[in-house]
Structure 1
Amino acid sequence: MTTRVMLISPAFSRALREARFEDGGPLEASGLARARSAAAGLPAADRSLTSPTVRCRETAEAFGGEPRVVAELAGLDVGRWRGRALAEVSEAEPDAVGAWLTDPGSAPHGGESVRELCARAGTWLDGAFAEGGRTLAVVEPEIVRALVLRALGAPESAFWRIDVAPLTATELSGRAGRWNVGVGRPL
């Protein structure tokens, strides 16, 4: 039996628009409206999941139903950089940002490394494969990146080379331990 996982990135929030690290803020009104209008185009799913962030939960709720919050699908913990603008952090800590963007094991912010995130997300994907059926999950862009790397067997060093636009779907389908990836479908 084929397992299908549709990963949907959240709609626009102020932090996303301002290129700030996730700050727990809600969706912008326009983002919420776009999420509601996209709901009709989503396929039926056996389960609806969401990352714990407010913007993911609000996006998932805009699609209808009651999605289950899954801690393993939380976005990258950026520690003390949370809520700060990337430009501000880059100016104040250029070496730290450089290391973070080039070394998947680096976590100069005191949070989680890309390597740790990829391992956590990959463990979740292995469980989704075993569960089977169709899963719809609204997740942070970094979870999409991590799961695409896992599905393709790509190195963690490619993490930052995957762009994930708001309100797009990335579809993983697999059978017998092998995943196929469909990326960037707009909703």
Structure 2
Amino acid sequence: MQLILVRHPQPDVAPGICYGRTDMPTSIDAIAAVAASLRAAGLPGALPVFASPLLRCVQLARALGAPVTLDARLAEMDFGAWEMRPWEAIARAEVDAWAADLLHYRPGGGENVLAVAQRVAAFRDALRRAGHPAALLICHAGTMRVLSALHAGGSIEEAALRAASSPHRIGYGEVLVLKD
């Protein structure tokens, strides 16, 4: 199976804000630019398109003009009470507690990394069972890191730790291709 992962365009949020599961739009110009880039690369073509139900992904998926299946398992991590707060305003002790237990700590009382990895793995497994040889997924940097870590193999716990430990270097609108 080949997965073509696309990160959503930049959302309308100030830099330095924690915004995992928060639903927010992106600018029409940002959507148009990423959609044009994808179309120039021949995407989505005949591929099935799946997207996170968060608006920043839905807007891009719909701009491509192909049928899209929304799936909550592709959503970004829920940071609970940290959502929409500046990262610098989150107590250092809370961030340190998360760093000390990446798998199980629930930042802001939200979701832990292991739970994210489990739901993303459930989506990937369902997609495989459906028999799609390839699919286009419009999602989030966190989801993309988890899918990449799962693709590398090992237990779900190992994949979750790899995803959480990897530096965040996935740009808005970036495409990542995973092939079995």
TM-score interval (norm. to shorter) = 0.7 to 0.9
The answer to which of 53-62 and 149-158 deviates more is 149-158
Query: Could you tell me which residue of structure 1 aligns to residue 145 of structure 2?
Result: 145
Q: TM-score, normalised by structure 1?
A: 0.81
User: Structure 1 stretch 23-32 or stretch 109-118: which is displaced more?
Assistant: 23-32
Q: Given residue 161 of structure 2, which amino acid in structure 1 is its aligned partner? A: S
Offset at residue 65 of structure 1 (A): 2.0
Question: Aligned-residue CA RMSD in angstroms?
Answer: 1.8
State the 1:14 CA deviation. 2.2
Counterpart of 1:158 in structure 2 is 162
Partner of 1:173: 179
> How much has 1:36 moved relative to structure 2?
2.8
- Matched residues, number: 168
1:18 to 8, 15, 40: 15
Q: Is the 8 A contact 2:9 2:60 kept in 1?
A: yes
- Distance in structure 2 (CA, Å) of the matches to 1:63 and 1:39: 8
2:121 pairs with 1:117? no
Once the two structures are TM-superposed, the CA of residue 45 in structure 1 deviates from its matched residue by 3.8
User: 1:178 maps to which residue?
Assistant: none
Deviations 1:17-63 (A, max 9, x none): 51322232210243123123213222424311110111011121222
Instruction: Describe the superposition over 1:52-97 as per-residue Cα deviations: whole angstroms up to 9, x where unpaired.
Output: 11101112122222311101111111111122222222xxx11111
Q: Secondary structure at the match of 2:29?
A: helix
Alpha-carbon shift at residue 135 of structure 1 (Å): 0.8
Alignment of 1:18-57 (within 5 A): 18-22=15-19, 23-40=22-39, 41=41, 42-57=43-58
- Residues 5 and 139, structure 2, Cα contact 8 Å, conserved in 1: yes
Letter in 2 for 1:99: A
Q: Which whole-Å CA distance do the structure 2 matches of 1:128 and 1:37 have between them? A: 26
Q: Go from structure 1 to structure 2 and tell me whether the alpha carbon gap of 1:111 and 1:65 turns closer, same or farther (over 3 Å shift).
A: same
Identity %: 21
**Which residue identity lines up with residue 169 of structure 1 in the other structure?**
V
Kindly provide the amino acid, as one letter, of the partner of residue 122 in structure 1: A
Describe the superposition over 1:75-123 as per-residue Cα deviations: whole angstroms up to 9, x where unpaired: 111111122222222xxx1111122244221113111101110111112
* Unpaired stretches in structure 1, ≥5 consecutive residues: 175-187
Structure 2 portions without partners, runs of 5+: none
